Structure 1
Amino acid sequence: MKFILVSASRRRIEYLKGFGFIFEVKKVRLNEVIVEGNAVSTAIKNAYLKACSAHKSAPLLPVVGMDTVVEVDGKILGKPKNRKENLEMLHMLKGKAHRVITGIACLKKDFIMIDYETSIVEFRSDIEEDFFLRYVQTGEGLDKAGGYAVQGLASAFINKITGPVDNVIGIPVLKIYKIINAICEV
């Protein structure tokens, strides 16, 4: 089951290859959209826009787009634009539970499959400012929704995860597998 993955994320590419998926990678530049007050719609819309951007060039293969966002206190967090914004995001998450939503869109010919995965992540409340500053200086969180990478150094911030951990990484692999299998049967 070969497909096209629309992503610039090295971790998504490596993770999916690790599971033996066969795919081509298309990178696109997309101004991500925020649907105010609706994190699920935001993740799905951006995933769909990514998939659409590559669909015309390969209409016979399934094209998969994904987008991950973080929602805390009703605010939707994408990727921080700089270190200052990264630090602000981490402060918003400190001591709180937040949702991590990954939208998935798969297109093949005239068929569209859209789904999403949700996980709840609880940050520790005892993280000191200096620790956040050290993390931000690594740059690890700059290209991650919510400004942190659960699979990296930011694992120290996590108190608890409810739901798929791979979704927090931005790759809900079982959901992706099911969607690709279903659309390949079309």
Structure 2
Amino acid sequence: MKSFILASASPRRSDILTQLKVPFRVEKSNFVEDGEGLKPKERPQKFAEGKALEVSKRFPNEYVLGFDTLVIMDSKALGKPKDPSEALSMLKLLNGSRHKVISGVAIAHNGKILESSKEITDVIFRHNTEQALQEYVNSGEPMDKAGAYAIQGIGARLVKAVNGCFYNVVGLPVAKTLDLIDHLGESNV
């Protein structure tokens, strides 16, 4: 298997790649996420490509994996909350409802995108009390998470069901990523 650069400082993505035995090292991307002119559902794939390209230009002879995850509720994009008040507002919006988690994944090499795709997972939140939501915000866990929750952490308490790739909700769609990596081998890049 090829060795990769992960264009992300996310410990969750590092943990998943380690679990999958994908050889990698981390180089945080300096890509500026600007969604101007993009529909929310297009952003994750475009941002994953942007992150992978930015790092690939710095390390042109290496394969770079870029990822981006966004929570979408009724066509509204929910990124990482700026503060606890925004986190609580996001959680109230998601509470008792269905939303989509979209993750983009891209592989770049020599400053070009070789592979790119996205994964969509439906998540249904339980009907949580406002006190439960506030206690979750007070835990601090929501603050660096798209949609203000971590399904792999305490945030699992908020979720009723997941339809699709669980790991996509964590931030790295496993099957989609492995398929793109496998396709690299088939195309003998």
| TM-score category of the 2 structures, normalised to the smaller one | over 0.9
What RMSD in Å do the two structures reach over aligned CA positions?
1.5
Identical positions, percent: 37
Secondary structure in 1 matching 2:115: strand
- Asked if 1 retains the 8 angstrom alpha-carbon contact of 2:41 and 2:72, the reply is no
2: CA distance, partners of 1:159 / 1:60: 44
**Inter-partner Cα distance in structure 2 for 1:152 and 1:30:** 27
Q: What residue is the counterpart of 1:160 in the other structure?
A: 161
TM-score, length of structure 1 as denominator length = 0.93
Change beyond 3 A, Cα 1:158–1:111: closer
**Corresponding residue of 1:120:** 122
Structure 1 residue 84 and structure 2 residue 85: aligned? yes
Task: Classify 1:73/1:92 alpha carbon distance in 2 versus 1 (closer, same or farther; 3 Å).
Answer: same
Instruction: Quote how far apart the aligned CAs of 1:36 are.
Output: 6.4
Query: What TM-score comes out, normalization by structure 2 length?
Result: 0.92
User: Which residue is equivalent to 2:68?
Assistant: 67
Give the gaps of 5 or more residues in structure 1. none
Q: Is the 8 A contact 2:29 2:52 kept in 1?
A: no
Change (3 A) 1:25 1:111: same
What amino acid maps onto 2:103 in structure 1?
A: T
* Long gaps (5+) in structure 2: none
CA distances 1:5-50 after superposition (whole Å, capped 9, x unpaired): 1001011101111111101110134432335672331101111111
The 5 Å alignment of 1:137-148 reads 137-148=138-149
| Secondary structure of 2:81's aligned partner | coil
Matched residue count: 185
1:84–1:78 CA distance, 2 compared to 1 (3 A): same
In structure 1, C-alpha distance between the alignment counterparts of 2:136 and 2:95, rounded to whole Å: 14
The question of 1:4 aligning with 2:2 is answered no
